[in-house]
Amino acid sequence: MNIPGDWPLSADAGRPSDWTDALYGRLFQQRTVVAAAQLNEESASDLVAQLMTLDATGDEPISLRIANWTGTLGAALSVIDVIDSLGVPVHATATGLVEGPPMAVLATCAHRWVSAHSRMKLCGEELSFNGPARLVESWLCEQNERLMALAGCIARSSSKHADEVLEDLKANRYLSASEAIRYGLADEILATDARVLPFRSNVDRPTVGFRPTTS
């Protein structure tokens, strides 16, 4: 996806991909970026570019909307480094399943909402390696170090020690929304009476998307 600009949103926007770009473009104008499906080097570069652009063009918080997100540790760490360096806070809203390294991205955000039926899976990357025993041993050591780095990132923003997080990563532990809050990976569950806000283009500050209602 390209960095959105002043995209029109209309019934004749063109092909479905054009409509998607128009939708993401309108969200981008309202300081909202979307992270879904696979976080890899390409999608991480796109996400980082959007975050940095919004940081440079305004002082209000950035809204990160996460849906069914999984991905690689390297990509997650690159996004985390940028979030840590931004001059504005990033507020995340997660729905569906957030799995593996992207959980550390969610944990790093300044404020984290999760939907009532969302789930978190603490796990590392699914990788494989073939080769001589000497190289396999070296590869396993490297993967263990990477898993420890992931545990450290999650522990930094949670209520757990890195060693405890590492054990949960190795056990592929699932967390419900309420368990994620107790773990320190989220701050609030979206209220059941939250409202979906329509696009409004006739006001100075248009609104769009999902506004959580908190008690």
| Nearby residues of 63 by Cβ (< 8 Å), 6 or more positions away | 30, 31, 32, 33, 90, 91, 92, 93, 209
Give a yes or no: residue 1 inside a domain: no
Domain CATH number, residue 156: 3.90.226.10
**For position 127, what pLDDT does the model report?**
58
Give a yes or no: residue 210 inside a domain: no
Number of domains making up the chain: 1
Give a yes or no: residue 99 inside a domain: yes
Give a yes or no: residue 208 inside a domain: no
Give a yes or no: residue 212 inside a domain: no
**For position 4, what pLDDT does the model report?**
46
Which residue range(s) make up the domain with 131?
16-190
Give a yes or no: residue 215 inside a domain: no
Supply angle C-alpha 64, 30, 198, rounded to 5: 100
Give a yes or no: residue 203 inside a domain: no
Q: Could you tell me if 8 and 25 are in contact, meaning their C-beta atoms sit under 8 angstroms apart?
A: no
pLDDT by 10s per residue, the chain, length 215: 444 444 444 444 444 456 667 777 888 989 999 999 899 999 999 999 999 999 999 999 999 999 999 999 989 999 999 999 999 999 999 999 999 999 999 999 999 999 999 999 999 876 555 666 666 677 667 778 888 888 999 999 888 999 999 999 989 999 999 999 999 999 999 876 555 455 444 444 444 455 554 44
Entry pTM: 0.76
**For position 203, what pLDDT does the model report?**
46
| Nearby residues of 207 by Cβ (< 8 Å), 6 or more positions away | 30, 197, 198, 199, 200
Give a yes or no: residue 157 inside a domain: yes
**For position 23, what pLDDT does the model report?**
79
CB atoms within 10 A of CB 127: 10
